[in-house]
């Protein structure tokens, strides 16, 4: 075929995937998984910026009890809804797998591309189309349901954006499913000779577990959103109690997807940390099999715990107790991972560079996020903490403090490979510190707010019940600290944006293997050539058998 | 096949460069399709669950409403779909033997049977629309217990989604048929026919569950 000719010319000196072909069209219609990964990365970060600015708006508004920015309650409802919906559907669900995963999965497997390159491009185009629906929602109507679209509010009283936004989420779901199918087949069928299952980098294992959830959970939210669209457009009565329907059914369906999808978000971050902790500690990973299998275990148990979102929705006491028990079960494989990472660092020669600092941040923040999850999984405490800022703080510790920090770690770790440039290490460490401090100041205060009874999603809090003056004073102070923290974090994030962009133009040229990694992505050029490798790589050992420590561990 | 030689080398014209061998590519395509079918099952599972939940909530409404469905028409459609699965399987067999003419013929039968299915569905639907046996707020039929309107909601949602899959199926069947007229399939390359076949059998299988739950079981 015609590509055969291109293969030969691409090997000329100095060509890589970035400069092999030129022009906008060569990107929009590329079948190269690396370019698709980069396009995902840019799009995802763009929506992170939009969602982040909305969050800053929300935080600024809460600076005073009556609302500091002067936005109306309706506007506030839209701001937090769009923040949640954009961050969930457009940022965090695709985040690591679609960008970093797309770029590095075939490289780590020693393959030329994913199994279905056209499907991969279709996934990106679907992502783009879904994103357009969300943009249309913002521009033309509005959305005030919260990102969960709970019926019956979403079926009649809510603003008109419901159909647009849910259609967007439906399309984004297809994008996820196709990515999942693609990754699973790629991992099964395109491994390099010698790359056995137990020699796979742990990031690949985490992508495998993630893809299973993509394929098996996403269709359920697909049909749920479709039913919601039908309900809203035609009034067929499935979720509308006035017509004999059942709104709690919506919650069951919604969380049957949306809880497993929490693990879609966190599992790739686990995979990233497994890579980072071992490479930057120069140490063989502790408990390879346990980490790999625990990813699959989390994916499996993750399907059985959705009811813990509904402890106060009127489900039976028995099922609440069963869901609570199963929720605690998730802590077992998760703790296995955390202990393995810590054990990996033990007696390692740890390098305190930016990716490793993100690893430390992750371990610290994820531990808090994970442990506070137990408070919410326990029935008695959940009834008290439900719908308070405690929940908000918990899921931000897990979603942002863990997934996003892992994502930042991944970007810094693989930036030299993706761009062929080194970023400014000093600025990297400063920014990591700013984000870490800002994050904790923002969200740790919210744990306190929540236990004191501050409900989530309130635009103003000067009239929460018959609030006592000293409690109002405390709420105000904590909200102000939280808001200041969010701006510290934003400063750190903009600093990252600045030095990463600067490195593209002025950064030092990156060596092929700046960290001394042993997985296959480090065996090719930085940035990689168009077809990834000169010839077919062959694997002869595991990904973490660093030569200098081999005698010590054996 | 002749185009393969025009490009030189031993590559089959449909062998993509990132696969080592054509059998590896075929196996990947097959595996991708099975995964896709897995997600289809979960897609439909939710409407089945909803059906059972509402049946539990409104046992009488569902019983009486289900008795208004026409078992003869449902049986006819079941026979039509089962036969179409047979012709589909024969099309795959012909592709494996490299008999592209046979593929065209069998796919022609399959598309014709799928069309018959949709025509029967059209008559069933229009009967219900006339009587007002419609979902939710559109329900105007009288004489059935509470919950009958939800039964018709589920009836239209489930058969509607299934019908949509039939229509999409007719589209991909036509695509494969056109490719077969160009003699593109052979003993070494027939995964597209097989994959469309797998999809078609799944659509058939879903009907095998829809038919008893909606029409037969009291």
Is A8 within a domain? no
B138 touches chain A (CB under 8 A): yes
Say how many C-beta atoms besides its own lie within 10 A of residue B14's C-beta. 19
Mean pLDDT of A38-46: 97
Beta bridge partner(s), residue B61:
none
Mean pLDDT of A515-542: 92
What three-state secondary structure class fits A509?
strand
**Residue A498 sits in which domain range?**
33-553
Lowest mean pLDDT: which of A229-233, B4-8, B150-154?
A: B4-8
Mean pLDDT of B69-82: 96
Lowest mean pLDDT: which of A186-195, B14-23, B26-35, B181-190?
A: B14-23
Residue B6 has pLDDT above 60, yes or no: no
A227 touches chain B (CB under 8 A): yes
For residue A145, what are the CA distances in angstroms to A244, B55, B93? 22, 29, 52
Residue A374 is encoded by which pair of tokens?
């137990």
Does the pTM surpass 0.80? The reply is: yes
Which pairs from A488-491 meet CB under 8 Å and 24+ separation?
A: A488/A434, A488/A437, A488/A438, A488/A441, A488/A442, A489/A434, A489/A435, A489/A438, A489/A439, A489/A442, A490/A52, A490/A56, A490/A438, A491/A434, A491/A438
CB pairs under 8 A between A and B: 127
Q: What local confidence, expressed as pLDDT, does residue A462 receive?
A: 85
Binned at pLDDT 50, 70 and 90, residue A554 comes out as very low
Min distance A520 CA to chain B CA atoms (Å): 17
Give the C-alpha separation, A150 to A167, whole Å.
15
Q: What local confidence, expressed as pLDDT, does residue A552 receive?
A: 52
Q: What local confidence, expressed as pLDDT, does residue A3 receive?
A: 39
Q: What local confidence, expressed as pLDDT, does residue A122 receive?
A: 97
Binned at pLDDT 50, 70 and 90, residue A464 comes out as low
- Give tens-digit pLDDT for A264-313: 999 999 999 999 999 999 988 999 999 999 999 999 999 999 999 999 88
CATH number of the domain at B21-216, please? Answer: 1.20.120.80
Residue B205 has pLDDT above 80, yes or no: yes
Q: Is A117's CB within 8 Å of B44's CB?
A: no
Stretch (H or E) spanning A69: none
Residue A436 is encoded by which pair of tokens?
């870490």
For residue A390, what are the CA distances in angstroms to A64, A79, A375, B127? 19, 20, 10, 55
Give Cα A13 to chain centroid, integer Å: 37
Higher pLDDT, A431 or A3: A431
Min distance A150 CA to chain B CA atoms (Å): 17
- Cβ–Cβ under 8 Å, residues A36 and A120: yes
Residues in chain B with CB shorter than 8 Å from the CB of A235 are 136-138
Which residues of B, range 7-46, sit inside 8 Å of A by Cβ? 7, 9, 11, 13, 15-20, 24, 27-28, 31-32, 35-36, 38-40, 42-46
Residue B112 is encoded by which pair of tokens?
């014709």
Residue A136 is encoded by which pair of tokens?
């249309």
Min distance A237 CA to chain B CA atoms (Å): 5
The counts of H helices and E strands in chain A are 20, 0
Q: Is A236's CB within 8 Å of B153's CB?
A: yes
Rg of chain A (C-alpha set): 23
Give the C-alpha separation, A47 to A55, whole Å.
12
Is A27 within a domain? no
Say how many C-beta atoms besides its own lie within 10 A of residue A538's C-beta. 11
Binned at pLDDT 50, 70 and 90, residue A550 comes out as low
Min distance B133 CA to chain A CA atoms (Å): 12
> Per-residue b/e over A35-57, b at no fewer than 16 CB within 10 Å?
bbbbbbbebbbebbebbbebbbb
Three-state SS string across B24-52, please? HHHHHHHHHHHHHHHHHHHHHHHHHHHHH
Query: Closest partner residue to B157 among A3, A111, A230, by Cβ?
Result: A230
Is A28 within a domain? no
Give the C-alpha separation, A283 to A350, whole Å.
9
- Cβ–Cβ under 8 Å, residues A170 and A122: no
Is A171 within a domain? yes
Domain ranges across chain B: 21-216
Min distance B114 CA to chain A CA atoms (Å): 24
Q: Is B43's CB within 8 Å of A223's CB?
A: yes
Is A18 within a domain? no
Half-sphere exposure of A264 (CA within 13 A, CB side): 29
Min distance B29 CA to chain A CA atoms (Å): 8
Share above pLDDT 70 across residues of chain A, in percent, rounded to a whole number: 96
The CATH number of residue A390's host domain is 1.20.210.10
Higher pLDDT, A541 or A432: A432
Which residues of A, range 229-248, sit inside 8 Å of B by Cβ? 230-231, 234-238, 240, 243-246
Mean pLDDT of A504-509: 93
- Give tens-digit pLDDT for A351-377: 999 999 999 999 999 999 999 999 999
> What's the whole-number average pLDDT of chain A?
92
Mean pLDDT of B20-31: 94
Query: Closest partner residue to B17 among A112, A236, A256, by Cβ?
Result: A112
Separation of first and last alpha carbons in chain A:
49
Residue A471 is encoded by which pair of tokens?
């409690």
Min distance A492 CA to chain B CA atoms (Å): 40
Q: What local confidence, expressed as pLDDT, does residue A13 receive?
A: 60
- Give tens-digit pLDDT for A465-492: 677 888 899 999 999 999 999 999 999 9
Residues in chain B with CB shorter than 8 Å from the CB of A246 are 53-54, 57
Lowest mean pLDDT: which of A234-243, A271-280, B4-13?
A: B4-13
Stretch (H or E) spanning B73: helix B71-96
Q: What is the DSSP letter of A74?
A: H
For residue A221, what are the CA distances in angstroms to A167, A229, A464, A525, B104? 11, 12, 34, 41, 38
Is A1 within a domain? no
Is A26 within a domain? no
B199 touches chain A (CB under 8 A): no
What is the number of domains present in chain A?
A: 1
For residue A111, what are the CA distances in angstroms to A105, A157, A201, A272, B192? 8, 51, 14, 20, 23
Chosen for mutation from B35, B44, B165 (greatest number of chain A CBs closer than 10 Å) is B35
Residue A260 has pLDDT above 70, yes or no: yes
Chosen for mutation from B38, B42, B44, B49 (greatest number of chain A CBs closer than 10 Å) is B42
Q: What local confidence, expressed as pLDDT, does residue B137 receive?
A: 84
Alpha helices in A420-553 (DSSP H): 425-451, 469-506, 550-553
Mean pLDDT of A376-387: 93
């Amino acid at each position: 075929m015609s590509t055969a000719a291109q293969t030969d010319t691409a090997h000329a000196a100095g060509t890589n995937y970035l400069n092999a072909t030129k022009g906008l069209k060569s990107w929009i219609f590329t079948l190269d998984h690396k370019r698709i990964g980069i396009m995902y990365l840019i799009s995802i970060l763009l929506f992170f910026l939009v969602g982040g600015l909305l969050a800053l708006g929300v935080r600024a508004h809460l600076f005073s009890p009556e609302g500091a920015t002067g936005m109306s309650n309706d506007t506030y409802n839209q701001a937090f809804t769009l923040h949640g919906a954009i961050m969930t559907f457009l940022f965090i669900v695709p985040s690591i797998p679609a960008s970093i995963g797309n770029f590095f999965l075939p490289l780590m497997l020693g393959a030329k591309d994913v199994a279905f390159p056209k499907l991969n491009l279709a996934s990106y185009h679907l992502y783009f189309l879904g994103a357009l629906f969300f943009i249309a929602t913002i521009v033309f109507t509005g959305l005030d349901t919260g990102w969960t679209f709970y019926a019956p509010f979403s079926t009649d009283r809510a603003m008109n954006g419901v159909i647009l936004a849910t259609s967007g989420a439906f399309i984004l779901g297809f994008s996820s499913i196709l990515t999942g199918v693609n990754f699973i087949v790629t991992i099964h069928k395109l491994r390099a000779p010698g790359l056995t299952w137990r020699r796979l980098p742990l990031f690949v294992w985490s992508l495998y577990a993630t893809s299973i959830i993509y394929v098996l959970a996403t269709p359920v939210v697909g049909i749920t959103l479709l039913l919601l669209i039908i309900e809203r457009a035609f009034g067929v009565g499935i979720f509308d109690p006035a017509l004999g329907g059942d709104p709690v059914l919506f919650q069951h369906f919604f969380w049957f997807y949306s809880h497993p999808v929490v693990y879609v978000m966190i599992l790739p971050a686990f995979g990233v940390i497994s890579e980072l902790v071992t490479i930057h500690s120069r140490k063989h990973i502790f408990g390879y099999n346990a980490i790999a299998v625990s990813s699959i275990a989390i994916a499996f148990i993750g399907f059985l715990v959705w009811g813990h979102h509904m402890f106060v929705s009127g489900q039976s006491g028995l099922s609440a107790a069963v869901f609570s028990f199963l929720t605690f079960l998730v802590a077992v494989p998760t703790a296995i991972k955390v202990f393995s990472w810590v054990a990996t660092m033990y007696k390692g020669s740890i390098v305190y560079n930016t990716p490793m600092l993100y690893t430390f941040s992750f371990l610290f923040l994820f531990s808090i996020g994970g442990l506070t999850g137990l408070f919410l999984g326990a029935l008695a405490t959940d009834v008290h903490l439900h719908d308070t800022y405690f929940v908000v703080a918990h899921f931000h510790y897990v979603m942002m403090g863990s997934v996003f920090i892992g994502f930042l770690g991944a970007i810094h770790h693989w930036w030299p490979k993706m761009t062929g440039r080194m970023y400014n290490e000093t600025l990297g460490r400063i920014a990591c510190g700013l984000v870490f401090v800002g994050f904790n100041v923002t969200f740790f205060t919210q744990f306190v707010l929540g236990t004191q009874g501050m409900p989530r999603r309130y635009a103003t809090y000067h009239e929460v019940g018959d609030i006592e003056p000293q409690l109002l004073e405390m709420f105000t102070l904590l909200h102000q600290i939280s808001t200041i923290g969010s701006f510290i974090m934003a400063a750190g994030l903009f600093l990252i944006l600045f030095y990463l962009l600067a490195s593209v133009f002025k950064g030092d040229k990156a060596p092929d293997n700046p960290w001394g990694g042993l997985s296959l992505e480090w065996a090719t050029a930085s940035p990689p050539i168009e077809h990834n490798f000169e010839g077919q790589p062959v694997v002869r050992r595991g990904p973490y058998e660093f030569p200098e420590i081999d005698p010590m561990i054996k | 096949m002749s185009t393969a030689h025009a490009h030189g080398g031993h590559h089959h014209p449909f062998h993509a460069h990132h696969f080592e061998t054509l059998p590896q590519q075929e196996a990947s395509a097959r595996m991708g399709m099975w995964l896709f079918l897995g997600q289809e099952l979960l897609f439909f599972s939710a409407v089945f669950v909803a059906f059972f939940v509402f049946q539990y909530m409104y046992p009488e409404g569902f019983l009486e409403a289900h008795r208004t469905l026409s078992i003869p028409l449902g049986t006819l459609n079941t026979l039509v779909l089962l036969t179409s699965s047979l012709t589909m399987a024969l099309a795959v067999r012909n592709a494996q033997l490299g008999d592209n003419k046979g593929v065209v013929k069998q796919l022609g039968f399959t598309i014709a049977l799928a069309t018959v299915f949709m025509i029967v569905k059209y008559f069933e639907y229009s009967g219900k629309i006339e009587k007002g046996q419609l979902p939710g707020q559109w329900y105007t039929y009288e004489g059935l217990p509470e919950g009958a309107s939800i039964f018709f909601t589920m009836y239209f949602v489930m058969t509607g989604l299934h019908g949509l899959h039939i229509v999409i199926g007719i589209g991909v069947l036509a695509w494969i048929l056109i490719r077969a007229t160009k003699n593109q399939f052979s003993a070494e390359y027939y995964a597209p026919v097989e994959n469309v076949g797998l999809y078609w059998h799944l659509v058939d299988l879903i009907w095998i569950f829809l038919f008893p739950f909606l029409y037969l079981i009291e």
